[in-house]
Amino acid sequence: MKPADFPPPFDLDELFTEPTDPPDERIDVGILIVGGGPAGLAAAIRAGQLLQERPELAERLGEVPICVVEKGKAPGSHVLSGAVVNPRGMQLLFPGMPAAEMPFAGLVEHEAVYFLTHKRSLRIPMPPQMRNDRNYFVSLSRLSRWLAERAEELGATIVPETAAVKLLVSGGRVVGVRTGDRGRGRAGETLPKFEPGSDIRARVTILAEGTLGHLTRGAIEQFDLGGSPQVYALGVKEVWEVEKPLVPIIHTIGWPLRMGRRDREFGGSFIYPMGDNLVSLGMVVGLDHADPALSVHDLLQQLKTHPRVYQILKGGKRIAWGAKTIPEGGFQALPRRLNFPGGMIVGDAAGFVNVPALKGIHYAMESARLAAEAAVEAAGPGATSWTPGQLESYDEAIRDSFIWKDLRRERNLRPAFQHGFFMGSALAGLSTVTLGHIPPRDLRVEPDAEAELHSPGRRSYPRPDGTLTFDKLSSVFASGNRTRDDAPSHIRIRQHVPRRLAEAWVHMCPAQVYAIPEAEQGDLVRVEVTASNCVQCGAITAKGGRLTLPEGGDGPEYTVMLGLEVEAEYRPYLDGGPSGMDDDAGAER
């Protein structure tokens, strides 16, 4: 049985609409960027740099030459933090800026990879792709807010708590987005604080929505941008305050995952220092696995009981939790075209992630920088972003960049593991030593929802103790989730499905969104959905459902992931933001 056999009640036409707001009510901007993560903010910064060099063009673009629409409470609030980044993206965006002035937490000096069994660990040679020489620790949430400040200094307007729910399409071209209503009840009725959405008209639209982007998926299908199907992993992460500083970064493979070909359990863990007394650790597992009983959240809890991991956390305290999907398809899964009439796709939304190297931030920022350059040219005199070929310079720049070279070289490493851990390791090693020339052909990528679900395996997860191991509901609380209990559901699934698929959704979801009522008997069961628990990880979209956008400002608020100084830095955004469109311009707060 495959999840794809039970598609959700969703129509692609829901993602598109003609502009409807009259000129005196709509919002007109020059360059519109959907998404306030590192990619979207990098695009805003590069566009701002170029417009400073061309003040006549900036004036031509009106009062809001650059606009960033962010669905979270603030830039970075939906970015799952704690990462090791290649500084190349930052160096290209800020040429000449020393690393000491960038918001890095520290330079990677030591690293190790361990193969785990239930009680033991064996240090193994570091795969060349995973080496982090001259890379840096960083809080991605903190990086996002730092980038937001730089973007505002360059004239960008950042509009938080605003969900871009539809692409505005006129004459076969994208001319902006429609923002979502706020203040509707569970049945769609208007509440006392109801605020209708608005049309935001733009000369160019850049989609930087991140993994499983709502509008991006629609644009790919609507404009036939194509490519092989994308595949995803689910990552669940925690931040701990610990007694002893962690020096090396640690990656693990093996236990608690199973390594058989039938299981198809590809993944591992990471443990990163984030300062003197903070540690970020997480578990990442491909969503093409076959076991309906696999729960990434519970695997992370199990990992923490391993002696090597427990010694790091002993005496510490969990202070944050979060979950997010990661695009893993690599080179084969990139869209054939990255531009469409009126816009472009950048970052994780396009799939620019190098899974073997565990890197994507510098690709996201570089793709956004290149898109911004194409956008500024398209917004200039005598040009439009929907003129045939106008945005093709972005695709050409990507093909000439290190992004294309890196991803093409590693294109067969992730697909190799569809054959199991041992065969996958052999194929991946062969590909590495031949610089991607062997296998000579591209290995096929199968969508996660097309993977057969086998009978549930026997798994024994640790009982939550509230000190080392935690249940899902307390973890949702630790994410800072802000979704209203009476908000309309933003999750689309088939309500009655085979029990095996229902169990897969129940176990897969890290936030306990799905449940099978006790009264349900037999092979066909009803699935209950508690949408207010959702942290918008996106896993359900990969496994047979559809995650749409909730009300702007809903979802997690990954603030503590930044470090202990978070409240002082974050407070201006929580209080309404240091910038934003004037209320009389029709923007939502």
Average pLDDT rounded to a whole number, residues 451-467: 91
Based on the domain organization, do 542 and 574 belong to the same domain? no
Contact between 51 and 44 under an 8 Å Cβ cutoff? The reply is no
In a domain, 99, yes or no: yes
Which are the contacts of 82, defined by CB distance < 8 A and separation ≥ 6? 139, 140, 237, 239, 272, 274, 280, 282, 561
Average pLDDT rounded to a whole number, residues 538-553: 96
- pLDDT greater than 60 at residue 193: yes
In a domain, 450, yes or no: no
**pTM (predicted TM-score):** 0.92
Average pLDDT rounded to a whole number, residues 400-423: 79
Based on the domain organization, do 158 and 245 belong to the same domain? yes
| 487: CATH | 3.30.70.20
What does the alpha-carbon distance between residue 556 and residue 14 come to, in Å, rounded to a whole number? 25
pLDDT value at residue 438: 63
Based on the domain organization, do 376 and 478 belong to the same domain? no
- pLDDT greater than 60 at residue 23: yes
Backbone angles phi, psi at 353, to 5 degrees: -135, 130
Domain count, the chain: 3
Based on the domain organization, do 295 and 197 belong to the same domain? yes
Spatial CA neighbour of 555 closest among 538, 543, 577, 572: 538
Based on the domain organization, do 538 and 560 belong to the same domain? no
More confident residue, 585 or 331: 331
Based on the domain organization, do 507 and 581 belong to the same domain? no
For the CA atoms of 368, 197, 539, 338, what is the dihedral angle to 10 degrees? -30
| 368: CATH | 3.50.50.60
- pLDDT greater than 90 at residue 15: yes
Based on the domain organization, do 358 and 476 belong to the same domain? no
Least confident residue range of 54-63, 260-269, 395-404: 260-269
In a domain, 460, yes or no: no
Spatial CA neighbour of 64 closest among 94, 19, 20, 26: 26
- pLDDT greater than 70 at residue 426: no
Token pair of 129 as six digits: 């792709």
- Residue 257 CB coordination number (10 Å): 22
What does the alpha-carbon distance between residue 7 and residue 17 come to, in Å, rounded to a whole number? 23
pLDDT band at 561 (very low <50, low <70, confident <90, very high): very low
Write b or e for each residue in 158-193: b if 16 or more Cβ atoms lie within 10 A of its Cβ, otherwise e. Answer: bbbbbbbbbbbbeeebbbbbbbbbbebeeeeeeeee
Average pLDDT rounded to a whole number, residues 46-56: 97
pLDDT value at residue 142: 87
What does the alpha-carbon distance between residue 516 and residue 509 come to, in Å, rounded to a whole number? 13
First-to-last CA distance in the chain? 45
In a domain, 458, yes or no: no
In a domain, 108, yes or no: yes
Based on the domain organization, do 356 and 367 belong to the same domain? yes
- Residue 473 CB coordination number (10 Å): 13
pLDDT value at residue 433: 59
HEC readout, 133-167: CCCEEECHHHHHHHHHHHHHHCCCEEECCCCEEEE
pLDDT value at residue 573: 35
In a domain, 79, yes or no: yes
pLDDT value at residue 434: 63
In a domain, 105, yes or no: yes
Which are the contacts of 215, defined by CB distance < 8 A and separation ≥ 6? 15, 34, 164, 166, 167, 177, 207, 209
Least confident residue range of 30-39, 189-198, 566-575: 566-575
Average pLDDT, the chain: 89
Average pLDDT rounded to a whole number, residues 220-235: 92
Average pLDDT rounded to a whole number, residues 271-286: 91
pLDDT value at residue 458: 82
Based on the domain organization, do 510 and 566 belong to the same domain? no
Write b or e for each residue in 102-113: b if 16 or more Cβ atoms lie within 10 A of its Cβ, otherwise e. Answer: bbbbeebeebeb
Based on the domain organization, do 321 and 426 belong to the same domain? no
Q: Coil, strand, or helix at residue 536?
A: coil
| Beta bridge partner(s), residue 84 | 137
Residue 384: Cβ-neighbour burial (10 angstroms; 0-12, 13-18, 19+): middle
Domain extent at residue 60: 12-411+556-585
DSSP state at residue 274: -
pLDDT value at residue 153: 98
| Beta bridge partner(s), residue 318 | 240
Contact between 74 and 397 under an 8 Å Cβ cutoff? The reply is no
Based on the domain organization, do 143 and 103 belong to the same domain? yes
Backbone angles phi, psi at 171, to 5 degrees: 60, 30
Based on the domain organization, do 22 and 74 belong to the same domain? yes
pLDDT value at residue 577: 37
What does the alpha-carbon distance between residue 58 and residue 537 come to, in Å, rounded to a whole number? 37
More confident residue, 479 or 227: 479
- pLDDT greater than 50 at residue 553: yes
Amino acid, res. 299: L
In a domain, 195, yes or no: yes
What does the alpha-carbon distance between residue 505 and residue 545 come to, in Å, rounded to a whole number? 9
